[in-house]
Structure 1
Amino acid sequence: MKKVAVFGNTGGGKSTLSKRLSEITGLPLHILDKIQYQSGGTEVPQEEYKHTHEKILVTDRWIIDGFGSIETVWLRLNKADTLIFIDLPLYVHFWWVTKRLITGFFKPPEGWPEKSPIFKSSLTSYRVLWLCHKYLTPKYREYIKQAQSTKSVYHIRSTEQISQFFELIKNETKISR
């Protein structure tokens, strides 16, 4: 595990999982929302984002958390040696977006740029939920099915599997040391 892509629908806990995975493995963490958006939620120019993304991809070790853009997601998944696809039931994603909206007024969400507009960003997340579920999630599922023969693939389908994933990673990390 040297190049890890963590992906899935919005509100699935990708940032929390990625941060914890980075702490366990020592791999550098790159959060796409923080690369794609400046403080306050202003989007950086697309070319600047793509350039930064490419600079990360050519390094030897990384965890990349998030979607970024349709143009960069497939490049990243192809370069990764490990894929972590968070594919929880839609209602869990919806609930976690709601929970992030409520708690975001008291504590900034994990992995978001500073001073992000919580309400506006949450409304965007609600719109993205169904679109991702309908159009992108089936493509992700097909991609990981094909990639299983050449990459390590973790297809997380329940909240219980998140805990199981960390136990597995902790045990693998102990063995490799």
Structure 2
Amino acid sequence: MRCSVIGNAGGGKSILSRAMASKTGIPLHELDNYLWKDNWDSVPPEVFEKQHREIIDTESWIIDGFGLPNTIEPRLRRSTRIVFIDLPIWMHFALAAERQAVWKQGKLTHPPGGMKAAPPTKILFELMWKIHTELTPSVNQWVQQAAESECVVETVHTLDRLRELQFNPMSV
């Protein structure tokens, strides 16, 4: 299985991806771990792109996250399963705000990218809005194209369905 779990920040991608990896034993690759260095400094694009190519060229993986925009479409084309967490943007903002608060209290058990410090909330929210307005339309198109092939696609629009998948990750 080659599974892409994608969606905006705060939507529950990492929780679902970890549950899927635990259930299947398939290697999990959280793209935040490849994309960011300490203090939220980004790695050079060519470094990330090389690592990404090496991952998607393997036969079995679960990949959590968007990564760089130019890497999304090739990954989705290679996927045999896609979970697109596409909650309403206000819900992504609310969930991300909740995560920011827990993180700042030092109680976040699995921070994105393994970072000790949360990203500045204003910058995070600006990025989330940019993803929502500029990237999500293309992602919707790529996901639709994948659904027309042999790829199994689930687009998640509600928290109830997200929770069901987190509890039973292989019900996609």
The answer to whether the superposition gives a TM-score over 0.5 is yes
In 2 relative to 1, CA 42–15 (structure 1 residues): closer, same or farther, beyond 3 Å?
same
Which range is displaced more, 156-165 or 87-96? 156-165
- Structure 1 residue 170: Cα displacement: 4.5
Q: Which residue of 1 aligns with 2:165?
A: 165
Kindly indicate whether the alpha-carbon contact (under 8 Å) linking 1:15 and 1:111 is maintained by their aligned counterparts in 2. no
Question: Which whole-Å CA distance do the structure 1 matches of 2:82 and 2:170 have between them?
Answer: 17
Question: Which whole-Å CA distance do the structure 2 matches of 1:34 and 1:25 have between them?
Answer: 21
Which range is displaced more, 7-16 or 160-169? 160-169
Kindly indicate whether the alpha-carbon contact (under 8 Å) linking 2:19 and 2:169 is maintained by their aligned counterparts in 1. no
Q: Which residue of 2 aligns with 1:18?
A: 17
SS of the equivalent of 1:11 reads coil
Residue 109 (structure 2) pairs with residue 113 (structure 1): no
Matches within 5 A, 1:88-103: 88-103=87-102
Question: Which whole-Å CA distance do the structure 1 matches of 2:9 and 2:109 have between them?
Answer: 13
Q: Which residue of 2 aligns with 1:175?
A: none
Which range is displaced more, 104-113 or 4-13? 104-113
Q: Which residue of 1 aligns with 2:35?
A: 36
1:124-158 Cα distance to aligned partner (Å, 9 max, x none): 22002222222222222222222212110011110
- Structure 1 residue 39: Cα displacement: 3.1
Kindly indicate whether the alpha-carbon contact (under 8 Å) linking 2:2 and 2:78 is maintained by their aligned counterparts in 1. yes
- Structure 1 residue 104: Cα displacement: 0.6
Which range is displaced more, 136-145 or 12-21? 136-145
Kindly indicate whether the alpha-carbon contact (under 8 Å) linking 1:32 and 1:68 is maintained by their aligned counterparts in 2. yes
In 2 relative to 1, CA 111–75 (structure 1 residues): closer, same or farther, beyond 3 Å?
farther
Question: Which whole-Å CA distance do the structure 2 matches of 1:170 and 1:66 have between them?
Answer: 18
% same residue? 29
1:19-72 Cα distance to aligned partner (Å, 9 max, x none): 111111211100111011123322222111111111101111001111111111
| C-alpha RMSD over aligned residues | 2.0
- Structure 1 residue 91: Cα displacement: 1.3
Which range is displaced more, 142-151 or 26-35? 142-151
Which range is displaced more, 58-67 or 163-172? 163-172
Kindly indicate whether the alpha-carbon contact (under 8 Å) linking 1:87 and 1:157 is maintained by their aligned counterparts in 2. yes
Q: Alignment length, in residue pairs? A: 170
In 2 relative to 1, CA 171–74 (structure 1 residues): closer, same or farther, beyond 3 Å?
closer
Structure 1 residue ranges (4+ consecutive) displaced by more than 6 angstroms after TM superposition: none
Q: Which residue of 2 aligns with 1:148?
A: 147
Unaligned 5+ runs, structure 2: none
TM-score (norm 1): 0.86
**What one-letter code is carried by the residue in structure 2 that aligns with 1:45?**
P
Residue 44 (structure 2) pairs with residue 45 (structure 1): yes
